[in-house]
């Protein structure tokens, strides 16, 4: 039992928390990177690994086609159909198929994809509309729209609907026919509430015949009422006095439409609607952060459901950070890559019970899941900066020790990186391995292949002995740890990190403890979780005395 001063008392440390930092650090510096709250514990945000490498140079869009039973992906100026299966036993993607079906006129920029019931795949790259229809010749073709430039595109009630960029109009395709875009009154809708340009048109999930027409400063609800002159009618009872800063931030699922909103009198905020009055989901601190952005329009977002949580994730590329909002607990967090830059995913699709994404950073297709505890083998920076600890009297106190409960004993300390390891048998034969498999090769080091290109693998014997070469280059340290740093000036500056090495497999002591933290009157804890396994932590306490 620890003997403590009679004046000692325990004060909570909110290890479990979100990014609710205030306008200035003195108000609150509280924020969280790459973790989120689940059942009053902090758990990891999703990691990723390569599913199909080097399809192109830049990933622009990814879409799951229900009718075709494949994913549609755009890399550079090429359009692909992708079939893939994820093996949950091995946590690997297998049986992959990538088939090019067409080419766009552009190689960079945001791409929007939708499909109808024919089925046709409709693609807009901000300059042209393209249709993929296996019943046509050619199956992939650019569609002439001489009287408007297409932008955001969606599908609703048999129509493809496209925003006419730079105008207050939105356009309907022929019914289940994306090859025709009539310029008649029956196919042209008008944004009416304000002098504005259409940014995008999106169906409202779970609201049947309802769509939202988003301009730059206003959003109008419309309904498909089946009129012959023009099938949609604007709601006369209400509109939303916020438009959309960038249509690439529009995302929807379940009952929710979310977007980066703005109007002529207010700066950017994140808003959502269920087809009724809009709700703002950013805090005062986040809104102040948005007001300082250099280029908030350089942004892109997606929405997805993971482990029962519904997340809206937005990247700000010029300003180099990412946020995600959890609709379950109504909290917002930061996401990042391994270098604490913006998160690399820009378009996510759910296919064969697994999430995948593409990235503007490279031409890979990635699997995306909380089952992955790294970023394709790189450590994930998981950081929690806790709420300020202050006494109502503002007097100084001495922090004697602090700690919290964490899961331990679930991560190995070392593992092979599965790179090539050279083995030499007793008679001098050189073999090359990858992981646990041993590949046969010729005397000059060339790998032996079958006629269909499969590598020949030896059947290993327990009695066979090898000399292992370059063993140290293929063992990666996995020692998990938690680094603790403190600020005694309310979060303006932080101390050097004091590491606490976690236990290896099987040793499940679950409490961390740091001692002799010093005197202060405005204490902030920051914890950094490092390792290639998962981290599960709950709130802690700091013992103080006066």
Q: What is the pLDDT of residue 451?
A: 59
Q: Is 426 helix (H, G, I), strand (E, B) or coil?
A: coil
Q: What is the pLDDT of residue 272?
A: 95
Helix count (H) and strand count (E) of the chain?
Answer: 1, 46
Q: What is the pLDDT of residue 414?
A: 53
Token representation of residue 293: 């952005």
CA distance 52 to 49: 9
Q: In CATH, what number does 9-17+386-413+478-545 get?
A: 2.60.120
Q: What is the pLDDT of residue 420?
A: 47
Q: What is the pLDDT of residue 473?
A: 46
CA distance 199 to 527: 41
Q: What is the pLDDT of residue 429?
A: 54
Instruction: Map 108-123 to HEC letters.
Output: CCCCEEEECCCCCEEE
533, 373 contact by CB (below 8 A): yes
First-to-last C-alpha distance (Å) of the chain = 21
Q: Is the preceding peptide bond at 119 cis, omega within 30 degrees of 0?
A: yes
435, 457 contact by CB (below 8 A): no
- What is the CB neighbour count within 10 angstroms for residue 483? 15
Instruction: Map 344-357 to HEC letters.
Output: CEEEEEEECCEEEE
CA distance 381 to 377: 13
* Tens of each residue's pLDDT in the chain, 546 residues: 566 777 789 999 999 999 987 888 788 889 999 999 999 999 999 999 999 999 999 999 999 999 999 999 999 999 999 999 998 888 888 889 999 999 999 999 999 999 999 999 999 999 999 999 999 999 999 999 889 999 999 999 999 999 999 999 999 999 999 999 999 999 999 999 999 999 999 999 988 899 999 999 999 999 999 998 899 999 988 899 999 999 999 999 989 999 999 998 888 999 999 988 899 988 888 888 999 999 999 999 999 999 899 999 999 999 999 999 999 999 999 999 999 999 999 999 999 999 999 999 999 999 999 999 999 999 999 999 999 999 998 899 999 999 999 988 777 665 545 444 444 455 555 444 444 444 445 555 454 455 555 544 444 434 343 333 334 444 455 678 899 999 998 888 899 999 988 887 777 777 888 998 989 999 999 999 998 889 999 999 999 998
Q: Where are the domains of the chain?
A: 9-17+386-413+478-545, 281-377, 418-474
The pTM assigned to this predicted structure is 0.86
């Amino acid at each position: 039992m620890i003997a403590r001063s009679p004046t000692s008392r325990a004060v909570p440390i909110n290890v479990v928390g979100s990014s609710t930092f205030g306008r200035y650090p003195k108000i609150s510096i509280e924020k969280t990177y790459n973790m989120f709250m689940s059942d009053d514990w902090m758990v990891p945000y999703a990691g990723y690994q390569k599913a199909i490498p080097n399809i192109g140079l830049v990933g622009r869009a990814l879409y799951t086609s229900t009718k075709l039973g494949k994913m549609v992906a755009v890399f550079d100026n090429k359009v692909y159909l992708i079939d893939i299966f994820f093996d949950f036993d091995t946590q690997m993607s297998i049986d992959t198929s990538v088939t090019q079906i067409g080419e766009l006129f552009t190689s960079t920029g945001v791409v929007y994809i939708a499909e109808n019931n024919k089925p046709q795949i409709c693609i807009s790259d901000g300059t042209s509309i393209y249709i993929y229809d296996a019943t046509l010749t050619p199956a992939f073709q650019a569609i002439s729209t001489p009287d408007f430039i297409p932008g955001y595109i969606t599908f609703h009630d048999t129509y493809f609907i496209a925003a006419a960029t730079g105008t207050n109009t939105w356009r309907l395709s022929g019914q289940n026919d994306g090859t025709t875009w009539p310029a008649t009154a029956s196919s042209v809708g008008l944004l009416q509430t304000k002098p504005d340009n259409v940014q995008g048109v999106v169906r409202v999930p779970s609201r049947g015949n309802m769509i939202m027409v988003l301009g730059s400063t206003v959003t109008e609800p419309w309904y498909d009422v089946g009129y012959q002159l023009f099938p949609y009618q604007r709601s006369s009872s209400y509109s939303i006095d916020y438009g959309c800063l960038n249509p690439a931030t529009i995302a929807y699922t379940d009952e929710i439409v979310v977007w980066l909103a703005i109007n002529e009198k207010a700066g950017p905020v994140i808003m959502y609607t269920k087809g009724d009055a809009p709700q703002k989901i950013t805090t005062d601190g986040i809104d102040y952060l948005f007001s300082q952005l250099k280029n908030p329009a350089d942004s892109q977002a997606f929405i997805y459901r993971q482990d029962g949580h519904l997340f809206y994730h937005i990247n700000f590329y010029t300003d180099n950070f990412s946020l995600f909002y959890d609709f379950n607990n109504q909290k917002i967090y930061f996401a990042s890559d391994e270098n604490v830059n913006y998160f690399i995913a820009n378009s996510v699709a759910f296919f064969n019970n697994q999430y995948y994404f593409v990235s503007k950073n490279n031409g890979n297709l990635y699997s995306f899941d909380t089952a992955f505890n790294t970023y394709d083998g790189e450590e994930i920076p998981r950081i929690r900066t806790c709420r300020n600890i202050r006494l109502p009297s503002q007097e100084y106190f001495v922090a004697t020790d602090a700690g919290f409960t964490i899961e331990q004993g679930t991560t190995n300390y070392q593992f092979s990186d599965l790179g090539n390891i050279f083995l030499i048998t007793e008679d001098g034969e050189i073999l090359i391995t990858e992981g646990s498999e041993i590949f046969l090769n010729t005397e000059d080091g060339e790998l032996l292949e079958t006629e269909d290109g499969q590598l020949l693998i030896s059947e290993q014997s327990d009695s066979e002995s090898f000399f292992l070469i370059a063993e140290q280059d293929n063992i990666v340290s996995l020692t998990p740890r938690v680094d603790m740093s403190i600020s005694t000036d309310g979060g303006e500056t932080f101390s050097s990190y004091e590491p606490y090495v976690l236990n290896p497999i099987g040793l499940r002591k679950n409490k961390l403890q740091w001692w002799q933290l010093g005197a202060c009157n405005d204490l902030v804890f920051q914890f950094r979780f490092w390792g290639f396994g998962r981290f599960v932590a709950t709130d802690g306490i700091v013992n103080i005395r006066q």
